[in-house]
Amino acid sequence: MTDAVTEERTGRGERIAKRIARAGLCSRRDAERLVAAGRVRIDGRTIDSPAVRVAPGQRIEVDGEPLPAVEPPRLFRFHKPRGVLTTARDAAGRPTVAMLLPRGLPRLMPIGRLDLNSEGLLLLTNDGMLKRRLELPATGWIRRYRVRAFGRVSPKRLEELAGGITVDGVTYGPIEARIDREQGANLWLTVALREGKNREIRRVLGHLGLEVGRLIRIAYGPFQLGALPKRAIAEVPAKVLREQLGGLLPTTPGAPIPEARSR
């Protein structure tokens, strides 16, 4: 029995597919395919299960080459334009965020999503653990949007969203919404929420009789879109990352991220 299998049964270490993905070699799903194809070895022995766990210090090879070390977590701000999918690839050949990123960056994963017709701030990270932590509602981060919508709604109906709402059988949590200005037949609103279910803003405002024309995310937690031009990407400096994330960041490359506390 290999040491890796022992780790699996005792519950120590992390799954090999996850470890490969965190090294930035490929996605976890692609890592599982590499394992299934017999292209991964741990301490010189080929493995055939992506559930095998690996402990620190064990030698991992993919196609005979040592697996790169896990990089420290990095975070990037990206200004996603409309008409671009938040994904690495699309079977229909539509433009994706991955197509717009400059060469030389590590493999980056989106934190949260923006649908095809939404735009604005998209956070990207090289660390899957950090991605999942920052997406959790328990983290308590507010996502803030500027919305242009056709129609009219009373401020009182918007205020009622603070208590949550159910639309077509789907229950949405508290939403902060206010009218900033009226422009002809359109309204500009600022909308803030903490969870962000699929097409939440469009569905909730549609339920109130508003048709969303533009949806721009301007903030995700403490990180702002600011004056970042469309299609541009900017890395969050390590000092700012430490100040803003605190205990959400691992203390050393590859270390587990501490449990988030509600804010």
Q: What are the residues facing 53 on neighbouring strands?
A: 15
Q: CB-side exposure of 189: number of CA atoms within 13 Å?
A: 29
If one counts every other C-beta atom within 10 angstroms of the C-beta of residue 176, the result is 15
**80-119: buried (b, 16+ CB within 10 Å) or exposed (e) per residue?**
beeebbbebeeeeeeeebbebbeeeeebbbbbbebeeebb
Q: Which of 30, 48, 63, 115 is catalytic?
A: 115
Residue that has been written with the tokens 């994330």 in this structure: 245
CA distance 172 to 47: 44
Has 115 been annotated as catalytic?
Answer: yes
Q: What are phi and psi of 79, to 5 degrees?
A: -95, 100
Active centre residues (catalytic): 115
